[in-house]
Amino acid sequence: MQDRIREVLEWAARAGYAARGFVYVSIGVLALLAALELAPAAAGSEEAVAAVADWPFGRVWLAAIAAGLAGFAAWRVLQSLFDADRQGVDAKALAARAGQGVSALVYGGLALSVYQALDTVADASETLGGDPRQGAARVLELPFGGTLLLLVGVFVGGVGVAGLVRAARGGFSRRLACRQGLRRTAEWLGRLGYGGRGLAFFPLGFFLAEAGLDRNAAEARSLGETLQALERQPFGSLVLTLVAVGLVAFGLYAFIEARYRRIVVPEPA
């Protein structure tokens, strides 16, 4: 029975990596189309998922994506709380595991928003396209809300910086069980992917931190709006193109992880 449970959890994790890959490839493609002026604007994760609702069998796709994202959130919990990747308990490992715990909340929330879209009669794009300023305003209403939003922004920006550092260091094929040629491909996709995601998350964190510091929810931005802000900078189309390619690469690397990552589900206590 325990072996069966572990097998189910492993496949849930693999489905989660695949769902994450789909989301990031979608964000990257939409951003690339915006950079090439073939689409009106870049989009974030929720907007990218919402676009699926207009596809043939869109609700079926949304259900599959939601299930995958929920599986990925569950895997992040195992990584964070039960050290599924055997990272240890030193300061660096605990910081990484804390980040995985926050990632569990993020992907769990995204999965929940997709499920809510499936349960409503309203158009999924309206259900999923939440305004980040409303969320920031709710945080600012809490005790020490400005400080909390500032810390969230610093964390998100830190994720961006960490992604850039990881892109420079490499080592993305270390946990993959596949042939050497694919490992080399995964290594470069990982470098491009984490670099592109880092370039997107750093300004996203800056906007959130600025909103918290100024206690002004209007300054908060979604990932899609952050990508649009990058496009408005000097050489913005080029920068957005590079980030978009990186986000697509991140998604493709997630697909490789879904198939070839070594996943060891912890033994039950």
Query: What is the model's pTM?
Result: 0.84
Position 266 in a domain: no
Alpha helical stretches, state H, 54-144: 58-82, 91-119, 124-128, 132-140
Q: How far apart (Å, rounded) are the C-alpha atoms in residues 14 and 68? A: 8
Position 30 in a domain: yes
Position 141 in a domain: yes
Domain enclosing residue 118, as ranges: 2-260
Digit-by-digit pLDDT tens for the chain (269 residues) are 667 777 888 888 899 999 999 889 988 888 888 888 776 666 666 666 666 666 666 677 778 888 888 888 888 888 888 888 888 888 888 888 888 888 888 888 878 777 766 665 444 444 444 577 888 888 889 888 899 999 989 999 999 999 999 999 999 999 899 999 999 999 999 999 999 999 999 999 999 999 999 999 989 888 888 888 888 888 888 999 999 999 999 999 999 999 999 988 776 55
Q: How far apart (Å, rounded) are the C-alpha atoms in residues 26 and 31? A: 9
Domain count, the chain: 1
Position 100 in a domain: yes
Position 215 in a domain: yes
Position 268 in a domain: no
Position 265 in a domain: no
